[in-house]
Amino acid sequence: MSCLVEFTPGGDIRISAETSQRYFPADALVAMQRGNELWLLPLTGPEGGGLLLKQRNAKGDRSTLIWEALSTDPPVGQRPAVWDHGNGALRIAL
Give the range of the structural domain holding residue 45, as residue numbers without chain letter.
2-93
Identify the pLDDT of residue 2.
85
Number of separate domains in the chain: 1
Residue closest to 88 by CA, chosen among 32, 15, 36, 47: 32
Tens of pLDDT along the chain (94 residues)?
Answer: 689 999 999 999 999 999 999 999 999 999 999 999 999 999 987 777 889 999 999 999 999 999 988 887 889 999 999 999 999 999 999 9
Residue closest to 68 by CA, chosen among 24, 32, 17: 32
pTM: predicted TM-score of the whole model, two decimal places:
0.92
38 in Cβ contact with 92 (< 8 Å)? yes
Identify the pLDDT of residue 78.
97
In 16-70, the DSSP E strands lie at 28-34, 37-42, 51-52, 54-55, 62-65
φ and ψ of 21, to 5 deg: -65, -35
